[in-house]
């Protein structure tokens, strides 16, 4: 089975690519390698999968020296012609679409990037999947779609029509677009609402990395809403196990949505305390009001994931943060 993984140099896409390769799948990885955060981290992820960064050039496939079943191509999903050519050259069975412009706060500063990548790019993926009769499109949505909801834990069955950031609005749009293609063209699609993913090779713009950087440098950390926030922190290994179970299973119906979260929200101050313990270092804190676009609580109901795939995330936060910090110390020396 040949699988296309978009966003393969990103955090979750990188881990999924590794898992699929180790399970024996043939993988084509795609990423535009944009500079939303340090490109060196993305290139080092590629290097981990046997892709030599010096050989990477736009729209030129590069074979892995580590995995004979892996090829990477730098490509933007906004480019419909190049994407169509890629689908024509490869007989993909399934597509795991994790390429997107991420980040809630950045969507307040650069909204156009979200429209281009998350709307136009997603449309191009849907069109290519339709034309080439892809057996299953699995794509990244987000817990951000729950927006102003006060019904916790968040269930896939509740209405999500109050997004509080453009990022969330684009992810909800993806779900609506996928539904339309599933309905009109019988394209099986599965959207995955990820809840605050963390772990080794994580994104520098997310709390675990931001806080760890500050604590290690002896700097103050910024705590928003005076610490009165909770997040359903979910270890990346748990996320990948859930995604892999969905990939290797035939879709149960043409359109599905699943929460993948830890089902155990952690208060922000408790999270900081655990991180301080793992780092064996205390930090000073600055307290600020809630930022625009931020949700106070995220909390995943994963009963649907358990029912359909007999799986739920299980990694305790302490264990996950230990794994993250060990990687952090090794990578950043």
pLDDT score, position 38: 95
pLDDT score, position 294: 81
Summarize pLDDT for 245-266 with one digit per residue, the tens: 999 999 989 999 999 999 999 9
Verify whether residue 167 is a known catalytic residue.
Answer: yes
Summarize pLDDT for 65-87 with one digit per residue, the tens: 999 999 999 999 999 999 999 99
Neighbouring C-beta atoms of residue 107, cutoff 10 Å: 22
pLDDT score, position 295: 82
What is the rounded distance in angstroms from the CA atom of residue 66 to the CA atom of residue 158? 44
| pLDDT less than 50: residues of the chain | none
Q: Find the DSSP H helices in the chain.
A: 11-22, 39-48, 80-89, 106-109, 111-114, 121-131, 166-185, 207-217, 236-247, 268-279, 303-309, 317-332
CA-closest candidate to residue 9, choices 38, 43, 35: 43
Between CA 272 and CA 104, with CA 321 as vertex, the angle to 5 degrees is 65
Contact (CB, 8 A) for 194 and 141 = yes
**Beta strand pairing call for 62-63 and 70-74:** antiparallel
Could you tell me the domains of the chain? Answer: 2-198+234-263+299-315 (3.40.50.720)
pLDDT score, position 313: 94
| Burial per residue of 211-221, b for 16 or more beta-carbon CB atoms within 10 angstroms, e otherwise | bbebbeeeeeb
Active-site position among 167, 198, 255, 328: 167
Neighbouring C-beta atoms of residue 61, cutoff 10 Å: 18
CA-closest candidate to residue 301, choices 150, 148, 145, 157: 157
């Amino acid at each position: 089975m040949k699988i296309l993984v978009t966003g393969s140099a990103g955090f979750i896409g990188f881990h999924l690519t590794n898992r699929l390769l180790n399970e024996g799948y043939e993988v084509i990885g795609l990423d535009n390698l944009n500079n939303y955060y340090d490109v060196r981290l993305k290139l080092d992820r590629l290097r981990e999968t046997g892709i030599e960064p010096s050989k990477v050039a736009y729209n030129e496939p590069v074979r892995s020296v580590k995995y004979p079943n892996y090829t990477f191509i730098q490509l933007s999903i906004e480019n419909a012609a190049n994407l169509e050519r890629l689908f024509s050259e490869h007989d993909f069975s399934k597509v795991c679409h994790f390429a997107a412009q991420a980040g809630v706060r950045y969507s307040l500063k650069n909204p156009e990037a979200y429209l281009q990548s998350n709307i136009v790019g997603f449309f191009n993926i849907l069109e290519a999947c339709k034309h080439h009769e892809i057996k299953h499109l699995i794509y990244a949505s987000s817990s951000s779609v729950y927006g102003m909801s006060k019904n916790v834990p968040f269930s896939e069955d509740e209405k999500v029509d109050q997004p509080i950031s453009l990022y969330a609005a684009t992810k909800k749009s993806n779900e609506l677009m996928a539904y339309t293609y599933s309905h009109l063209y019988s394209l099986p699609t599965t959207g995955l609402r990820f809840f605050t993913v963390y772990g080794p090779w994580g994104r520098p713009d997310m709390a675990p990395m931001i806080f760890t950087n500050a604590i290690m440098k002896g700097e103050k950390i910024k705590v928003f809403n005076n610490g009165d926030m909770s997040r359903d922190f979910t270890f990346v290994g748990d996320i990948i196990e859930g995604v892999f179970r969905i990939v290797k299973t035939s879709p149960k119906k043409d359109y599905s949505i699943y929460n993948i979260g830890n089902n155990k929200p952690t208060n922000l101050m408790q999270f900081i305390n655990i991180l301080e313990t793992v780092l064996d270092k205390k930090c000073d804190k600055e307290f600020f009001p809630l930022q625009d676009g931020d949700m106070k609580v995220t909390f995943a109901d994963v009963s649907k994931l358990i029912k359909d795939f007999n799986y739920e995330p299980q990694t305790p936060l302490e264990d996950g943060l230990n794994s993250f910090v060990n990687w952090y110390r090794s990578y950043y020396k």
